Amino acid sequence: MSQKIRYGVIGCGSMGREHIENIKALDGVELTALADPHPASRAAAAALLAQAPRAFEHHRELLASGLCDAVVIATPNFTHIEMMRDALETDLHILIEKPLVTRVEDGLELVQRARGRRGLVWVAQEYRYMPPVAEMIRMAHAGAVGRLHQVSIREHREPFYPKVGDWNRFTANTGGTLVEKCCHYFNLMDLLLREKPKRVFASGGQRVNHLDERYDGRTPDILDSAFVIVEYASGARALLDLCMFAENSIDSEHITVVGDQGKLESLLPALTLRHGRREDWGTRKAWGEASGTGRGVSVRRVWDTNIKYAGQHFGASYIEHLRFAQAIRAGTPAEVTLEEGLRSVATGLAAHLSIETGRPVAMNEILPVTWC
């Protein structure tokens, strides 16, 4: 496909508008249609464009319009199942925002519906495209630190942003914080370790945020802090440390990969990558030398010069859109499949169940045995 790709965006809230900014920065594309039931969101999205696209109140009108070759779905989490059911009935290429769904049964339904369709289906998981993270993945898979044993991801950040109607204040709408916010990280763990998760332990709660808010008499129930341990069949482990009342952090995101031959660290927003190897420890006589000295650790800032729009995700959404458009033109598979998107949701749901029950949760309690 060499001709211009015509895009439609379904959902014109903050993330939908971020997608619009990224699409604007691409070559060989045109944004031809928007859909959102909220007039103010439609107007805010149209204002980003020099030439206003066709605007629809209902997503089905956009899907049936014939104006698009590809659609981006950026509606509230709990609506994804309805949007995707309708979008999968077309031949349009689809980029669906994370989390794919809020319930496993919905995700399994979508995987089944998507079988054999012509259009590409790609689940947005932009964290893997952040420049230092992408380089960390490349180096880890190239053997830079040997066999991987541990991955740890820390995000210490601000509370959830306001959304239209404050839908993201309730677990029933989001799937829960560890689905809404953290499916990115669970997908990244699987990608780095190249394994499927087997068991999840978690501890977390709602400690600080949104406790004094009321919506029609209801108090928000989304947790704001958690530790999650994910175990893999090989014995490798991954840890998530999430705190959403820690905005006074210098680097809000810190990803560490440890292998038997060394360590990689990615820090954001510093865009810093650290790499150290431990190969000389076996022959060194001075075993008393303390760790933490930085000896032999390389430190560099990583950026991708292909990025034309940095946006809210350090250029990662631009790279994701670039790859999505390339896949459409080349007829190649999605880099992030429906199956991967669903597995990341399932790990988050397993973590929530672990918190609720106070016990480890096997992934085959959440997903069919054939998936585990």
Tens digits of residue pLDDT in 108-121: 999 999 999 999 99
- For residue 258, the surrounding DSSP H or E stretch is strand 253-259
Q: Are 222 and 141 members of one domain?
A: yes
Q: Is residue 153 domain-shared with residue 267, that is, in the same domain? A: yes
Residue 144 lies in a domain: yes
Stated pTM of the model: 0.95
**Residue 22 belongs to some domain of the structure:** yes
Residue 80 in any domain: the answer is yes
Same domain, 232 and 356: yes
Query: Do strands 225-232 and 197-205 pair parallel, antiparallel, or not at all (unpaired)?
Result: antiparallel
Do 209 and 120 reside in the same domain of the chain? no
Q: What is the CATH number of the domain that holds 228?
A: 3.30.360.10
pLDDT at 279: 66
What CATH number did the domain enclosing 120 receive? Answer: 3.40.50.720
Digit-coded pLDDT (tens) for 235-271? 999 999 999 999 999 999 999 999 999 999 999 999 9
Q: How far is CA 30 from the centre of its chain?
A: 25
- 30 and 55 in contact (C-beta within 8 Å)? no
Question: In the prediction, which pLDDT does 60 show?
Answer: 98
Domain assignment present for residue 371? The answer is: no
pLDDT at 295: 76
- In the chain, pLDDT over 70 holds for what percent of residues? 96
Task: Please give the pLDDT value at position 319.
Answer: 98
Q: List per-residue pLDDT tens for the chain, 372 residues long.
A: 558 999 999 999 999 999 999 999 999 999 999 999 999 999 999 999 998 899 999 999 999 999 999 999 999 999 999 999 999 999 999 999 999 999 999 999 999 999 999 999 999 999 999 999 999 999 999 999 999 999 999 999 999 988 888 999 999 999 999 999 999 999 999 999 999 999 999 999 999 999 999 999 999 999 999 999 999 999 999 999 999 999 999 999 999 999 999 999 999 999 999 999 986 555 555 545 567 777 789 999 999 999 999 999 999 999 999 999 999 999 999 999 999 999 999 999 999 999 999 999 999 999 999 999
For 58-73, the DSSP string reads SHHHHHHSS--SEEEE
Contact 269, 152 (CB under 8 A): no
- For residues 99 and 137, membership in a common domain is answered with no
Q: Across all residues in the chain, what is the average pLDDT? A: 95
Please report whether residue 372 resides in a domain: no
Residues 158 and 102 occupy one common structural domain: no
Rounded distance between C-alpha atoms, residue 135 and residue 195, angstroms: 19
Cα–Cα dist 269/250, whole Å: 8
Task: For residue 93, give the 3-state DSSP assignment.
Answer: strand
Residues 263 and 188 in one domain: yes
pLDDT at residue 349 in the model: 98
Is residue 108 situated within a structural domain?
yes
User: What pLDDT does residue 290 have?
Assistant: 60
Q: How many domains does the chain have?
A: 2
247 within a domain of the structure (yes/no):
yes
Domain shared by 89 and 171, yes or no? no
Do both 168 and 66 map to the same domain?
A: no
Supply the angle between the helices 39-46 and 14-25 in degrees, to the nearest 10.
20
Does 228 reside within a domain? yes
113 and 244 in a common domain: no
Q: In this structure, how many other beta carbons lie within 10 angstroms of the beta carbon of residue 281?
A: 11
The pLDDT score that the predictor gives to residue 284 is 55
Nearest to 350, CA basis, from 360, 341, 342 = 360
Are residues 80 and 136 located together in one domain of the fold?
Answer: no
| Contact between 228 and 177 (Cβ < 8 Å) | no
Q: Which domain range does residue 163 map to?
A: 128-309+345-365
* Residues 133 and 220 reside in one and the same domain: yes
